[in-house]
Structure 1
Amino acid sequence: MADDRAPRQPRRADARDNRERIVRAARAAFAEQGPHASLNRIAAAAGVGAGTLYRHFPSEQALLVEIIRDDVDALCATGRALADQPDTADALRHWLHAVARHATAMRGLVATHMAAVSRPGTDATLAACHDAIRATGAALLDRARQRGAAPTTVDIGDLLTLANALAWASEQAPDDPGLLDRLLGIALAGLDV
């Protein structure tokens, strides 16, 4: 995913430190509490005031983008690498597993925000993350279709929704670490993907 952030003036060391502490605290809070994490508690855990948090990240979505940007880039790079795999159906299945694992990050927070990117008020950078994932998946799906390995009736949006839904379902059973892989196997076998 291209980094479309505007060039910035160099930050003061204390501002950089505050930003890094906020990101670390947010990553921990989101991993533990998912969408129930409080931005005020994140600020407190980072040792900064709420104003400092909002100066760096004006919304929860902006903070989430900062945390997941590298993960989205890695997910898209995985998709590009899989595009060279001879078994196009297997490449698509492998990538959808990676998407589902990504969707489980931060206890459903990522999946919740990605599902809402078409709503008004969505952070443009978060929407760009979603678009990058969608474009990567569409390329893999198109390649599989060209080789007759995926039905023409399947849409990448549907596959991403399915991966997110199965990721959510697997999070509801934390004592069953193999559930996500089993559910994906069943769903994708039924789709001939």
Structure 2
Amino acid sequence: MPAQRADARRNHARLLAVAEEEIAAHGADASLEQIARVAGVGSATVRRHFPHRRALLDAVFRGRIETLCSRARDLADADDARAALVEWLRALTEYAASTRGLAVALTRDLEALPDAGHENACATVLSEAGEPLVRRAAEAGAVAPGATAADLVTLITGIALATEHHPDPVAEADRLLGLTMAGAVPRG
């Protein structure tokens, strides 16, 4: 694969920076045309770098997703498996609730994308990263039998979607995560 020209690398970096700002302001459905205008490039340049919206969203979220995955790896050998899992889930919840558009991106239907299959790259990567934490917590009896990392990512996605328009979405998402972890209807 040939190296990108310097102007192509600059355009790519500029598009990502502008896309992050636009997605933060307008969510995952931010206008690609507006991103191109603000970046000072044509819409064809956007499509050349990011052939579909999913590719752009994945690129925008990739850095933070990798940080969350790295945190999961760091916590994998913690002494308290439950505390490690809860710490990671809180970090994931905070990011999902504070990053407008991520929760929508995690739920986006990708059937229309021929090269993406039915998998959601962000959710899949997060689930794979969290699986060792869930497995250890399950071995310690600290997580519901049969629960998977994918289940927990789905719950957090739902919490983030439910709190997106709340005046303090991060605090409300954290409260709902705590309620979820404690069990909304404890057995009597």
Return the TM-score normalized by structure 1: 0.85
Cα distance in structure 2, aligned partners of 1:102 and 1:119: 26
In structure 2, which of residues 105, 108, 122 is the aligned counterpart of residue 113 of structure 1? 105
The aligned counterpart of 2:34 is 41
**Structure 2 counterpart of 1:154, from 134, 141, 147:** 147
Q: Which AA in structure 2 matches 1:28?
A: E
Partner of 1:60 in structure 2? 53
C-alpha distance in 2 between matches for 1:27 and 1:165: 22
Does the C-alpha gap of structure 1 residues 32 and 91 become closer, same or farther in structure 2, counting only changes over 3 Å? same
> In 2, distance between residues paired with 1:118 and 1:40?
21
- Consecutive unaligned residues of structure 2, counting only runs of 5 or more, are none
One-letter code aligned to 1:113: A
Q: Specify the code of the residue in structure 2 equivalent to 1:131.
A: T
- Counterpart of 1:146, as a letter, is E
Aligned to 2:84, which of 57, 73, 91?
91
Partner Cα separation in structure 2 for residue 168 and residue 68 of structure 1: 16
Q: 1:177 and 1:146, CA in 2 relative to 1: closer, same or farther beyond 3 A?
A: closer
Q: Which residue number in structure 1 is paired with residue 122 of structure 2?
A: 129
Q: Which residue of 2 aligns with 1:145?
A: 138
Where 1:104 maps in the other structure, the secondary structure is helix
The CA deviation string for residues 113-151 of structure 1, in whole angstroms up to 9 with x for no partner, is 222366452764974433221112221111111111112
The number of residue pairs the alignment matches comes to 184
Contact kept in structure 2, 1:117 and 1:130, CA below 8 Å = no
Match of 1:24 in 2: 17
1:79 corresponds to which of 48, 72, 75: 72
Structure 2: how far apart are the matches of 1:33 and 1:13?
Answer: 30
Give the distance between the partners of 2:53 and 2:19, measured in 1 at CA.
10
Give the CA deviation at 1:62. Answer: 0.8
Q: 1:30-62, CA deviations, whole angstroms, 9 ceiling, x for partnerless residues?
A: 000002310000000000010111111111111
Deviation at 1:12, TM superposition (A): 1.6
Conservation of the 8 A alpha-carbon contact between 2:97 and 2:173: no
Given that 2:15 and 2:46 are in contact with CA atoms closer than 8 Å, whether structure 1 keeps it comes out as: yes
Distance in 2 (CA, whole Å) between partners of 1:153 and 1:183 is 21
